[in-house]
Amino acid sequence: MSKDISEFMLEAIRLSVNNVEAGKGGPFGAVVVKDGKIIARGVNQVTSSNDPTAHAEVVAIRNACAVLNSFQLDDCEIYTSCEPCPMCLGAIYWARPAKLYYANSKEDATALNFDDQFIYEEMARPIGERKLFTEQIMREEAMEAFKKWAVSTIKTVY
């Protein structure tokens, strides 16, 4: 492991420890690196911001995209103190970084009751068998936006 990689991960870990000590959220930190430099940081802010999507990785991605003035993290690396949850992993894939590194495992997180296994299990079930009532309604009305997107000449494809 190169010195740079360990330094970036140590920063993500430092952020996670500081977040716990400050009482501002869960024990998670993340950094986004481009061209060998940290361009953004994020810590878990779920409880301090009353935002269930404010996981460290999502916060770091939002901050990095603002710095880069882009909706993608081309040629970037993400270092996170823990293996990403399903939401964060989805966000990471959408952001399209070149690499992802993590420290603690999802099993380590499960030991502290940060257990995402139920989400993986729910996603694998047919919609009608999920615990969260889900029903598709008004598809035809909603298709108007999709039809307009398909022929739009002013869209930014992503």
Give the catalytic positions in this structure. 57
Q: Is 90 helix (H, G, I), strand (E, B) or coil?
A: helix
d(Cα 71, Cα 21) in Å, to the nearest integer? 32
Assess contact for 92 and 71: CB atoms under 8 A. Answer: no
Please report, as a single letter, which amino acid is at residue 31: V
Closest CA to 13 of 77, 80, 92: 80
d(Cα 96, Cα 78) in Å, to the nearest integer? 10
Assess contact for 106 and 83: CB atoms under 8 A. Answer: yes
Assess contact for 115 and 109: CB atoms under 8 A. Answer: yes
